[in-house]
Structures are given as C-alpha cells and as structure tokens.
C-alpha cells in the first residue's frame, strides 16, 4: 500500500453551511498527521484547470462559523466527459497528490467515483448537501442549518397568513427528496406537506383546503418540496385557482436555505467527518463516503450512495398526518 503524503480537498456542487468547517477539519487533521494538504479552488472545474493552492493551519482560521465555501464551487461541463476527468487526474499526478477528499452531494460523488474507477485516483467523499438525500448517512452537512433557516422564514409567513386569513403555499428545496419539506412542515405546523415520495392529487388538495375552511380554519399553510409531482408552488397555486376557485399566496424560499452561519450540529458533524476522511485515506481506503449513522462513523461505497434510496422517516409521516388535522 502506497504511503499517503500529499492530499487535496475540494468542495463541489451546491454549497452547504458547514463546508468551511469541514475544510478546516480536513486541513488541520492532515497537518496533524504529517501530510501536505492542498485546496482545489472552484470545484471540479478548478481541478481540471489545475487551480490548486497549498493550505496551512492559518489558511483555515476564522472560517468555522462562515457559510458557503472559501474554496468556491462550480458546475464543470468538462468533468462530465472522460477527457475532462483525464485532465483532472493528470493534474493530481503532476502535483504528486496521493488522495482527494470530495465534500459535496450526489453529483459530486458520481464524479469522484468515476475518476477513481477510470484513473485509479484515491477518493473519499464527505456528504454535504442541504437536501439530506444521501444514502448511508443519517444527516448531511448543511441540513440542520437549512432546516433552521426555512423554519424561521415559515414562522414569519405564518404570522402574515393569520393576520390576513390567507392560504400560503411555501416552496422549499428538494428536487428528489422531501426531507426539508417534511421536517419544516411538521415544525411549522403546516396543514399539508407535499413531497416527491408520496402522491397527493390536485383533487385531494382541493378537498383538503375546503375541509379546512369548513372546520373553521381561517389561515392555512401548505409546504411543498420543489420536486413534487404536482409541480412547483406557482403551478399548484394556479391550478387551485382554475379548478377550485381557491386563492392562495406563494412564497419560494429558494437559495436563502443554503446560506447563513452553520449551526452547532453542522459544525460538529463537519468536524467529525473531516477528521475521519483524512484517517480513511491514510488507512488506504478509497471510493467510499464517510457517513454518520446511529451516532457512529460508517464507510459506504460511493456507488451505494446514489444506487440505494434513502427513505423518509415513516414515523414522522404518520405523526405529521395526526398533528395536521
């Protein structure tokens, strides 16, 4: 087994609160283990173009509390192609990099797995996405902060909805999963939660709204994940008006959910996963994700992180139905 001497860290895909805390953990753990550490600036695009910078303990001072990623991130069209990944692998070889830690989500892990299989690059993935949709970990970096941000905004919308006797449809992030919608919907007291994992028809929703009105509700809140099969919040509101003459107001929380200072939970998770990712590289592991399940570290093959589906909490779904009626 080749000794690991130089490693690199990269943040890829959508940013998530806690990425900086994770970079900090990776850098300081690597230095503590006697390794030389480089940061890749600009995600996979930066890797393809050779944008590497040496990092020290001081490079990551005063960033644990900051949202986003100081290494920057981007989408790389060239990395989707094998020729682009070859250039990325060549960059790592030119810099004598022995292993790379990729902090990101589903798409980032696809890229990490591909470059590992095709060119023998040693990679360790760390799950960082506000969607929390990565199989093999109970929670991803950024999720807890995003929940808090979304809930704070929904509480404010509730105040307006109650003051004006209105129905609000609030759209949160979640293209393929409803983790954010389910949790903030329960915590925000939503009357209905629409997620990609369950099927609710427009007819069902129309009947629900009318039932709420008959029950004496003067204001109501529907939380919808952006990837729900009924469509986004605007299309749902339009259909409700056209089919049932029900007026509603729309609020799309959008990218506000990605920003902000990470919570203590996200900082702690990022610090843990960053540490164990470095240790995993030193131990010769590769093509895996470092996850957190049942209050302990787990190592999951990168392939499984997207081939297997992470289910919504069935108990929470049951609880929400009881509490929303």
The answer to whether 18 and 262 have CB atoms below 8 angstroms apart is yes
As a whole number of angstroms, the distance between CA 36 and CA 295 comes to 30
Q: What are the C-alpha distances in Å from 150 to residues 154, 194, 314?
A: 6, 15, 22
d(CA 281, CA 194): 40
Task: Please name which of 14, 18, 38 lies closest in space to residue 101, comparing C-alpha atoms.
Answer: 38
Other C-beta atoms closer than 10 Å to the C-beta of 122 total 21
Q: How far is CA 226 from CA 116, 242, 252, 301, 303, in A?
A: 32, 21, 9, 28, 25
Q: How distant, in Å, are the alpha carbons of 55, 65, 289, 325 from that of 37? A: 6, 21, 19, 54
CB under 8 Å to 234, separation ≥6 — which residues? 250, 252
| Cα torsion angle, 253, 259, 260, 264, sign | positive
Distance in angstroms between the alpha carbons of the first and the last residue of the chain: 59
- In angstroms, the CA 11 to CA 19 distance is 7
As annotated, the active-site residues are: 131
Neighbours of 258 (CB within 10 A): 19
104 three-class SS: strand
Backbone angles phi, psi at 314, to 5 degrees: -65, -35
230 phi and psi angles, rounded to 5 deg? -75, -15
């Amino acid at each position: 087994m080749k000794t690991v001497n130089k490693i690199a860290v990269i943040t890829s895909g959508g940013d998530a609160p806690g990425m900086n805390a994770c970079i900090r953990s990776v850098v300081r753990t690597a230095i503590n283990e006697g390794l030389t550490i480089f940061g890749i600036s600009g995600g996979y695009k930066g890797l393809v173009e050779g944008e590497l910078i040496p990092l020290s303990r001081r490079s990551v001072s005063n960033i644990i509390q900051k949202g986003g990623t100081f290494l920057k991130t981007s989408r790389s069209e060239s990395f989707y192609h094998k020729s682009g990944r070859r250039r990325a692998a060549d960059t790592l070889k030119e810099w004598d990099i022995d292993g790379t830690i990729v902090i990101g989500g589903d798409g980032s892990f696809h890229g990490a797995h591909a470059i590992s299989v095709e060119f023998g690059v040693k990679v360790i993935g760390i799950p960082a996405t506000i969607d929390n949709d990565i199989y093999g970990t109970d929670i991803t970096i950024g999720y807890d902060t995003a929940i808090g941000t979304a809930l704070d905004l929904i509480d404010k919308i509730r105040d307006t909805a109650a003051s004006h006797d209105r129905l609000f449809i609030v759209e949160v992030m979640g293209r393929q999963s409803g983790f954010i919608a389910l949790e903030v919907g329960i915590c925000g007291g939503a009357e209905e939660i629409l997620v990609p994992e369950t099927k609710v028809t427009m007819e069902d929703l129309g009947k629900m709204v009318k039932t709420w009105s008959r029950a004496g509700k003067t204001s109501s809140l529907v939380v919808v994940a952006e990837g729900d099969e009924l469509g986004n919040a605007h299309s749902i509101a339009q259909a409700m008006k056209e089919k049932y003459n029900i007026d509603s107001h729309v609020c799309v929380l959008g990218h506000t959910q990605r920003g902000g200072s990470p919570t203590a939970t996200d900082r702690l998770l990022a610090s843990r996963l960053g540490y164990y990712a470095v240790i995993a590289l030193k131990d010769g592991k590769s093509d895996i994700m470092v996850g957190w399940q049942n209050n302990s570290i787990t190592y999951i093959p990168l392939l499984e992180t997207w081939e297997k589906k992470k289910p919504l909490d069935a108990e929470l779904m049951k609880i929400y139905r009881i509490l929303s009626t």
